[in-house]
């Protein structure tokens, strides 16, 4: 993403961080490879695939989730560096193939399950929420996009997952404030 001061904001999926770089450095041939990017993937602006939010944290409850979802959420929460987005999506895809299908599920069902997971373990964090939502979408055979955004001009980052143009669950629909840096398509 080009900033107004002649610098670029570059997100590295390999390291899970954003860097403010000069144009020369950001467009060099060596640095993007080091960061896990292809120069052809650079965009000045990315479109947010999410147009709405299905569920915002409220009184809706009643879904019981298994221990596997809770453990997967805790693992993604505690081990971000080991579970980079690309690795986590590969792991989720592999696990989704092993799990029973949730074919009848829609975005609202995915959102209810995600809300139940966060409430059952008492943690609310965007990174594991986005990746676990992607996993639930894969189990439901729904295509989705995991988006990493940044609140410019700060270094605050946020992750969210959307399917069919909507975010299944977000405790606070704050992702509208964030400019997308990277969008990962997850197809089943």
Say how many domains are in the chain.
2
3-class secondary structure per residue, 94-156: HHHHHCCCCCCCCHHHHHHHHHHHHHHHCCCCHHHHHHHHHHHHHHCCCCEEEEEEEECCCCE
Same domain? For 36 and 75 the reply is no
Same domain? For 35 and 63 the reply is no
Same domain? For 105 and 27 the reply is no
Same domain? For 67 and 35 the reply is no
Q: Kindly state the DSSP code that residue 38 receives in the 8-state scheme.
A: -
Same domain? For 36 and 56 the reply is no
Same domain? For 18 and 93 the reply is no
Same domain? For 178 and 100 the reply is yes
Same domain? For 71 and 30 the reply is no
Say if 79 falls within a structural domain: yes
| Residue 130, pLDDT score | 93
Task: Give the integer Cα–Cα distance in Å for 180 and 109.
Answer: 25
| Residue 132, pLDDT score | 93
Same domain? For 82 and 153 the reply is yes
Phi/psi of residue 58, nearest 5 degrees: -150, -145
Parallel/antiparallel/unpaired status of strands 179-186 and 7-12: unpaired
Indicate the pTM of the whole model: 0.74
Show the domain range for 107. 52-186
In order along the chain (188 residues), what is the average pLDDT of each group of 10 residues?
Answer: 68 70 73 65 63 65 77 89 81 80 80 89 91 91 88 80 89 77 81
Task: Give the integer Cα–Cα distance in Å for 186 and 143.
Answer: 6
Structure tokens at 80: 């971000």
Say if 27 falls within a structural domain: yes
Same domain? For 13 and 59 the reply is no
Same domain? For 71 and 11 the reply is no
Structure tokens at 138: 């894969």
Say if 1 falls within a structural domain: no
């Amino acid at each position: 993403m080009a900033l107004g001061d002649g610098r670029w904001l570059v997100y590295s999926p390999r390291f899970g961080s954003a860097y403010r770089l000069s144009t020369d450095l950001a467009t060099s041939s060596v640095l993007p490879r080091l960061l896990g990017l292809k120069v052809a993937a650079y965009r000045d602006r990315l479109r947010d695939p999410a147009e709405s939010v299905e569920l915002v944290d409220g009184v809706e409850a009643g879904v019981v989730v298994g221990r596997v979802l809770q453990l997967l959420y805790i693992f993604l929460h505690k081990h971000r560096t080991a579970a980079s987005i690309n690795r986590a999506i590969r792991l989720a895809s592999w696990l989704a193939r092993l799990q029973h299908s949730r074919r009848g599920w829609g975005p609202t069902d995915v959102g209810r399950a995600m809300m139940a997971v966060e409430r059952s373990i008492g943690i609310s964090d965007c990174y594991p929420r986005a990746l676990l939502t992607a996993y639930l979408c894969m189990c439901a055979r729904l295509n989705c996009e995991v988006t990493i955004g940044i609140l410019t001009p700060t270094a605050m980052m946020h992750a969210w997952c959307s399917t069919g143009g909507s975010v299944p669950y977000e405790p606070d629909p704050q992702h509208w404030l964030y400019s997308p840096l990277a969008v990962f398509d997850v197809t089943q």
